Amino acid sequence: MTEKPIVLVVSVSIIKDEKVLMIKETKPSAPNKWNFPSGRIEKGEDIPSAAKREVKEETGLDVELIYTTGIYNFISSSQDQVIMFHFVGQVTGGSIYLGEDGIIDSNWVELSDLAKFNGEELRNPYVIKQITNSLLSKNYYSIHLYHKQIK
73 class by beta-carbon count within 10 Å (0-12 exposed, 13-18 middle, 19+ buried): exposed
Determine the CATH number of domain 6-140. 3.90.79.10
Q: Are 33 and 24 in contact (CB under 8 A)?
A: yes
Beta-carbon count within 10 A of 30 CB: 18
pLDDT of residue 2: 63
pLDDT in tens, 81-135: 999 999 999 999 999 987 666 789 999 999 989 888 888 888 888 999 999 999 9
Compute φ and ψ for 147, nearest 5 degrees. Answer: -110, 160
Q: How many other C-beta atoms lie within 10 A of the C-beta of residue 147? A: 9
Phi, psi of 37, rounded to the nearest 5 degrees: -55, 130
The model's pTM: 0.92
Measured distance CA(8)–CA(141) in Å, rounded: 20
Mean pLDDT value of segment 5-19: 95
| Per-residue pLDDT reduced to its tens digit, 45-69 | 999 999 999 999 999 999 999 999 9
Kindly list the domain boundaries of the chain, sorted by start residue: 6-140
